[in-house]
Amino acid sequence: MFLLSPPSPEPTTSMVPDLDKVGTKMAEICEGDTLLCSVLAGWMDNASWAPLVASMITIVLILIIGFLVRNVVNRVITRVINRAATRPVGRFRKGTVTAGVDALLHERRKQRAETMGSVLRHIATIVIIGTTLLTVLDRLTIPIAPLLTSVGILGVAIGFGAQELVKDFIAGMFMLLEDQYGVGDVIDAGAAIGTVEAVTLRVTRLRDEDGRVWYVRNGTITRVGNESQGWSRAYVDVPVPYDSDITTVRVVLENVAEEMWADAELREAAVVEPPQVFGVEQLSDSSMVFRLSAKTLPARQEEVARELRLRVKAALDAADIAMVG
């Protein structure tokens, strides 16, 4: 009768890394680093424990340097952004635009600079901290090549799956750089028309005249009509009877334009240049149409047009000139 011997236990592979091997590799890396680690080990008289201690000190120094570089880069970006935001506008010739337009342009530049500064700071943080952590992992003898390969494969997969998201972010970056529109602007984005309430790198939030909120992805905006950038223009058409005296009507309208420009409060708040009387715009068998035009601050054209209509009506009534409906 044969007796079966019990099977010998198979050697198990430990998931815990061999500390001796790790220490040996760290010592080899330290010896190859003639800039810092080997110098630190030399200060310790090259004792058996010196490479390991020097490696740990080097790792701590790498982390400290990484965070210091991050802080310095962020401060430099902030300083450059602040300088760009406070730089004089210089977009219009002196004397052709009021302080209101300059203030709006300055605020738009400040908002755009702050947004770009936030994006640049985030990118700098990711690059610097990521490089620091990879350097530390390499010092700890943790192979980073498989990690980089995995990250690369994951990045490609995410890139294919998030093409629309990447498109939105790129479009948002160019939109901010080119200052196509900003918060408070009235724009026609194709998909919706309304006032811009928020702008991010991915979406633009609009509110239309009915109070409806629209979220438009930046990548889907192929053209933008901005009614609030730089300046706007208000038009008022004044129909009068065909037999009215053209010179008299023109004088009355020019007096209205001069009164509008003489109103200091209105000039500072909305009107940029003296209103102009274009003269007879249209002719028919029953009426003549005169047109007044006023250059205004962005998005203030409706307010100025309403004020013009009120003053024109009062002036025509005082001159006993009727308006044709």
Q: Are residues 200 and 133 in the same domain?
A: no
User: What CA–CA distance (Å, rounded) separates 275 from 252?
Assistant: 13
Q: Are residues 204 and 127 in the same domain?
A: no
pLDDT at 130: 87
Q: Are residues 207 and 251 in the same domain?
A: no
State the total domains in the chain.
3
pLDDT at 69: 93
- Residue 221 main-chain phi, psi, to 5 deg: -85, 110
Identify whether 16 is part of a domain. Answer: no
Sign of CA dihedral 25, 31, 36, 39: positive
pLDDT at 48: 58
- The structure's pTM equals 0.53
For the chain of 325 residues, list the mean pLDDT of each consecutive stretch of 10: 50 48 62 62 61 74 90 91 69 46 65 77 88 83 75 73 81 82 83 85 88 91 82 88 89 91 82 86 86 85 89 91 82
pLDDT at 105: 65
Q: Are residues 142 and 215 in the same domain?
A: no
Task: Tell me the residue range of the domain where 208 lies.
Answer: 179-226
Q: Are residues 148 and 214 in the same domain?
A: no
Identify whether 4 is part of a domain. Answer: no
Q: Are residues 50 and 83 in the same domain?
A: yes
Identify whether 166 is part of a domain. Answer: no
Q: Which of 193, 209, 226 is the last residue of a domain?
A: 226
Q: Are residues 116 and 212 in the same domain?
A: no
pLDDT at 255: 92
User: What CA–CA distance (Å, rounded) separates 68 from 218?
Assistant: 35
Contact 232, 184 (CB under 8 A): no
Identify whether 118 is part of a domain. Answer: yes
CATH code (residue 249): 3.30.70.100
CATH code (residue 191): 2.30.30.60
DSSP string, 95-109: TSS-HHHHHHHHHHH
Q: Which of 226, 260, 282 is the last residue of a domain?
A: 226
Q: Are residues 114 and 194 in the same domain?
A: no
pLDDT at 16: 44
pLDDT at 128: 92
Q: Which of 193, 226, 259 is the last residue of a domain?
A: 226
Q: Are residues 213 and 149 in the same domain?
A: no
Identify whether 17 is part of a domain. Answer: no
Identify whether 8 is part of a domain. Answer: no
Q: Are residues 110 and 189 in the same domain?
A: no
Identify whether 170 is part of a domain. Answer: no
Which is nearest to 295 in space by CA: 321, 317, 266, 320? 266
pLDDT at 183: 76
Q: Are residues 120 and 145 in the same domain?
A: yes
Contact 218, 190 (CB under 8 A): no
Residue linked to tokens 């680093």: 33
Identify whether 172 is part of a domain. Answer: no
Q: Are residues 29 and 154 in the same domain?
A: yes
